[in-house]
Amino acid sequence: MPTPPSTQDAIGLLAKLIAFDTTSAKSNLDLIAFVREYLDGHGIASTLVPDGDGKKACLFATIGEGDGGVGLSGHSDCVPVTGQSWTSDPFTLTERGGKLYGRGTCDMKGFIACVLASVPLFKAAPLTEPIHILISYDEEVGCVGVRPMIARLEQDLPRPRVVIVGEPSGMQVIDGHKCIDVFRTTVTGKEAHSSMPAIGVNAISAASKLVEEIDRMAAEVASTENDPHFDPPYSTVMVAMVDGGTAPNIVPRNCDVLWQLRGLPGTKAKDAPARLEDFAEKTLLPGMRAVAPDASIDTKTETAVPAFSAGPDSEAVSLAMMLTGANRPPACPMPRRPGSSRTRAVRRSCAGPASIEQAHAADEFVALSQIEACLAFLTKLTERMSA
């Protein structure tokens, strides 16, 4: 068997990946160019799948020959650091106490670094079927970027038999996830001078009542659902952003409430938008329209990613459990990409370094021990796929 990848190689690659600020609002092309050059240096061709305006791209590469194979999938984008208090530069990899700090170390450049560090091993091994590398963009804003690449799997890119997604799971095998539905509720009231609020309709005040109703729905769902296969064991409903108003001396005419549902498969909480609409129609709008007949409250779906369950006979789950030595896979609260994939004949599971508890927070980190565990996982995968 060829030499396994080294931890130092993975750390060096992770430092390069962290240095690229791939916050979802920005381009990922510099990171993709780096990965493409790295693969080219190992004699591995790659295919780019750009977005509509050419500012972002997915990358797909294949090592080995034959049909099927195993795909190793990760997303290149990360969440913003705005407003967070970091103790080190979030875009400079910093090692302290056996932990590697930096934006994206946990979610999920740590996994990508391990995959890239394993490329020489993949290439030197006598693979009986190929290993595919899939790197996407805009996962953090609704699994947007992976969809064009999934479409290409139906056309001109080789379709993996199994896909392992390296989202942070502490190298545990994940066989299911909740849905994630993101909604934007727009409240339209009526502007007026702040000295005469009674002749206006305050959109922020109305939105605050909607926020309270969403919180009531969240508490109700938490008290009525219990599926111990998930953590937390119930669907969650949460307000994420509120944006409204023009100036302190103007009764605000507009306010947007961005909120989300992360629901168990088959949850009754899927009716949350309809319930909020009913609350608005019966409780808020009559009073608002008595002052401003054109007042409105409208909810639109921004993102919808279906819940997923691999099923008891999933080949992907069986493979990942064999490689990790797990007995039973837990499910998880967030979508694990390439979720939203309905590609025929592709089965997926998740196993990646770090914990979701470290993701999206200040001083995000991945433990060195998790990098080592991920490299061991990829080495076992290579052995399993070799003659």
**CA-angle at 80, arms to 352 and 303, nearest 5°:** 75
Q: Which residues contact 8 (CB under 8 A, 6 or more apart)?
A: none
Residue 140 annotated to the active site: no
Q: Which of 304, 351, 316 is nearest to 330 (CA)?
A: 351
The residue behind tokens 């090692």 is 95
Distance between CA atoms of residues 139 and 143, nearest Å: 4
Out of 139, 140, 167, 213, the active site residue is 139
Give the chain's radius of gyration (CA, Å).
23
Structure tokens at 321: 């459990």
Residue 139 annotated to the active site: yes
Is residue 101 within 8 Å of 192, Cβ to Cβ?
no
Q: Is the peptide bond before 338 cis (omega within 30 degrees of 0)?
A: yes
Distance between CA atoms of residues 181 and 213, nearest Å: 17
Distance between CA atoms of residues 252 and 194, nearest Å: 9
Q: Which of 371, 372, 377 is nearest to 101 (CA)?
A: 371
Q: Which residues contact 91 (CB under 8 A, 6 or more apart)?
A: 18, 19, 20, 21, 102, 103
Out of 21, 77, 181, 364, the active site residue is 77
Q: Please give the single-letter amino acid code of residue 260.
A: Q
**CA-angle at 241, arms to 238 and 242, nearest 5°:** 115
Residue 313 per-residue DSSP state? T
Give me the residues paired with residue 63 across strands. Answer: 131
Distance between CA atoms of residues 181 and 310, nearest Å: 20
Catalytic residues: 77, 139
